[in-house]
Amino acid sequence: ISWFTDSMKEGRPVAVETRHLIPDSLPGGSTPTAVAPVSQYACQRRTTTENNNKIITDAFEVLAESYEFNEIEGPCLAFRRAASVLKSLPWAVCSLEATLDLPCLGEHTKAVIDEILQCGRAFEVEKILSDERYQTLKLFTSVFGVGPKTAEKWYRRGLRSFSDVLADHSVQLNRMQQTGFLHYGDISRAVSKAEARALRNIIDEAVHAIAPDAVLALTGGFRRGKEFGHDVDFIVTTTELGKEESLLPRIIRRLTKQGILLYCDYQASTFDMSKLPSYRFEAMDHFAKCFLILRLEGSQVEEGLHIAEGDSRGWRAVRVDLVSPPMDRYAFALLGWSGSRQFERDLRRFARVERHMLLDNHALYDKTKKEFLAATTEKDIFAHLGLEYIEPWQRNA
């Protein structure tokens, strides 16, 4: 999880799309054909990892990130939503007319699409990409433990490169940032699916040696079928309620003994059901979790390590996140950690705006009935929300 770079709040409610008819455009065709409109909510769209509009969505993501660096929330969210809509399309946008019936596209987004369709690129995006401030903030935030606030502080001090930062005596790096610089090459390199599988085996072995009734689930981007990720996310718990409390500390001890734990930031649970529902937007849930860096041996990865050419160490460092919710919160935690971020934002927004319910990683609360809705599977949660079930591999919004 890289919540440092995700300070976005959920947006304002927008009117829900309704079903409509578009006339058949075939010559002589007079019967109108019903076409399901694209929903403004990502949780009502199916988005696989196949993106037919990558040139446009990449451009939108640069614009969104630039607005985020400048703390301008509205346009940032608008570009993220627009990118997400285009990612869900089974076709490539090749004219502005084709986007007429699509939600979440405003004047600004359409102008960028138009320019890309005509020239293959957008001036505004090129300008951002060559901007020194954008480049520097992008570089600094690529370090584990460095968020936009710290990056901005270093930029304002006149620092422009890693060597500037490391040579500046007034800069005090915390433990996370020191580790971030130490393992920068490995951590900034994508983790492959084969590496994620190898890590699953390592965690699986550790968890089951500790608790035979342990439950382990791969979550995050790899659960959505992505080929590469910036980390590997797992949920670990036990069927016996309360026993999950000791699970992460014991896993951490075991990994330490094995000599493969390069970094560990453990956060004990602050979860308290009596403090729910939470009306505040919170970036993080209250479950016990740990942010780790593990040493992965090449011999453990079936297809070999995803490393730079000429790297002969035979191992690499990989970021791994473990979350440990109590078993009765499992479905909510799994849904929340499976992502994508945009999918999660829209699930919560849909629940609030369309259903008068509050959804987070802990629970689903019905504000009308004033009660919590129980769920043991993700399907239960979709059903409570009156949503068609969307498979994890269709949540790449």
Residues with catalytic roles: 231, 233, 321
Query: Minimum CB separation from ligand DCT for residue 336, in Å?
Result: 6
The reply to whether 240 sits near ligand DCT by the rule CB under 6 A is no
Is the Cβ–Cβ distance between 354 and 366 less than 8 Å? Answer: no
In the complex with Mg ion, the residue whose CB is nearer, 221 or 392, is 221
Query: Minimum CB separation from ligand DCT for residue 393, in Å?
Result: 12
Among 145, 180, 221, 392, which residue interacts with ligand DCT (rule: CB under 6 A)? Answer: 221
The reply to whether 233 sits near ligand DCT by the rule CB under 6 A is yes
The reply to whether 337 sits near ligand DCT by the rule CB under 6 A is yes
In the complex with ligand DCT, the residue whose CB is nearer, 141 or 340, is 340
Q: Interface mask (CB under 6 A) for ligand DCT, residues 341-370, using x and -?
A: x--x--------------------------
The reply to whether 68 sits near ligand DCT by the rule CB under 6 A is no
Stretch that binds ligand DCT, among 2-10, 39-47, 294-302, 371-379 (CB under 6 A): 2-10
Query: Minimum CB separation from ligand DCT for residue 66, in Å?
Result: 19
Nearest by Cα to 297 from 185, 208, 194:
194
The reply to whether 339 sits near ligand DCT by the rule CB under 6 A is yes
Query: Minimum CB separation from ligand DCT for residue 205, in Å?
Result: 22
- Rounded to whole angstroms, the Cα distance separating 11 from 242 reads 36
In the complex with Mg ion, the residue whose CB is nearer, 220 or 325, is 220
Q: Which does 344 bind (CB under 5 to 8 A by kind): Mg ion, ligand DCT, none?
A: ligand DCT
Among 230, 295, 355, 367, which residue interacts with ligand DCT (rule: CB under 6 A)? Answer: 230
Q: Which does 326 bind (CB under 5 to 8 A by kind): Mg ion, ligand DCT, none?
A: none
Q: Which does 6 bind (CB under 5 to 8 A by kind): ligand DCT, Mg ion, none?
A: ligand DCT
Q: Which residues contact 323 (CB under 8 A, 6 or more apart)?
A: 219, 233, 234, 235, 236, 285, 287, 288, 289, 333, 337
Query: Minimum CB separation from ligand DCT for residue 313, in Å?
Result: 23
Query: Minimum CB separation from ligand DCT for residue 229, in Å?
Result: 3
The reply to whether 1 sits near ligand DCT by the rule CB under 6 A is yes
Integer angstrom CA distances of residue 181 from 140, 145, 150: 10, 9, 14
The reply to whether 39 sits near ligand DCT by the rule CB under 6 A is no
The reply to whether 205 sits near ligand DCT by the rule CB under 6 A is no
* Interacting residues with ligand DCT (CB under 6 A): 1-3, 6, 220-221, 226, 229-231, 233, 283, 336-337, 339-341, 344
